Amino acid sequence: MQALEIAQRIIRDSNFLTLATTDGEQPWANAVFYASDKDLNLYFTSYNDSIHVQNILRNPSVAVAIYDSSINVGGSNSQGVQIKGKCYRVSKGELPDAIEIVYAKRFPDPAERASRDLSVERFSKDDRKKRIDHIYKVIPEKVYILDKTPGIKDTRLEVDFKPGNT
C-alpha cells in the first residue's frame, strides 16, 4: 500500500485526532472528533471560548496526530499520520458542506441528523455571545506517516498529496 493510501485510510477510518496549538508562548494539545473530505482537509466543531480556538485565532498554524487505534500497539503494521497545516473557522459559504461532512460521520442515521439543529445559522452566530459552536477546518500543508521499511526505525515519510487530486 502506498503512503497516500495509508494516510487516506487512517484519516477516513479514525474518529479522533490530537490537535496541537500555541498562543505563541505555551503549547496546548487536545483530542477532538473530526471528519475529513477527499482533499484530506479535517473538520471539527468547537466552542469559540476554548483554549485551542483562542490559540488558533492568534496563530492558525497547527499540528495534528492521528493514530490508527484499530491496530495492535507496537505491531509491525502500527501506523499513524502527522499533519502540519493551517486551521481556520469555516466561512458561512462553506458551512453547508462542512456541516454535512462532520455530522454525516458523527450521526450516520439521517433521522438523527434531522432531529438536531445543524443549520448554517447555528454555526455562524456572532462570537460576542458566549459559548458559540463553530466548525473549523485544518488545511494540510505537509502530511507524514511512519516509514515501515525493514531496518528503519522512527523515521517519518512525507506523503505526496496534492489537494484536489487525492
Confidence of residue 155 (pLDDT cuts 50, 70, 90): confident
For the cut 90, the answer to whether the pLDDT of residue 165 exceeds it is no
Q: Specify the DSSP element, H or E, that contains 32.
A: strand 27-33
Q: Which residue in this structure is represented by grid cell 466548525?
A: 135
What grid cell was written down for 136? 473549523
Helices (H), strands (E): how many in the chain? 5, 8
Task: Encode pLDDT of 63-116 as tens digits.
Answer: 999 987 776 666 666 789 999 999 999 999 999 999 999 999 999 999 999 999
Structure-block grid coordinates of residue 71:
491496530
- Residue whose entry in the numeric block shows the C-alpha cell 502527522: 82
- DSSP secondary structure of 90-119: PPGGGHHHHHHHHHHHH--SHHHHHTS---
Look at residue 33 and tell me whether its pLDDT is greater than 90. yes
3-class DSSP assignment, residue 121: helix
Mean pLDDT confidence for 112-129:
89
Q: Spell out the domains of the chain, with CATH numbers in brackets.
A: 3-158 (2.30.110.10)
- Nearest residue to 23 via CA among 72, 62, 70, 73: 62
Provide the pLDDT for residue 146: 85
Size (the chain), residues: 166
Rounded to whole angstroms, the Cα distance separating 155 from 149 reads 9
For residue 49, give the nearest of 130, 135, 138 by alpha carbon. Answer: 130
Q: What is the pTM of this model?
A: 0.90
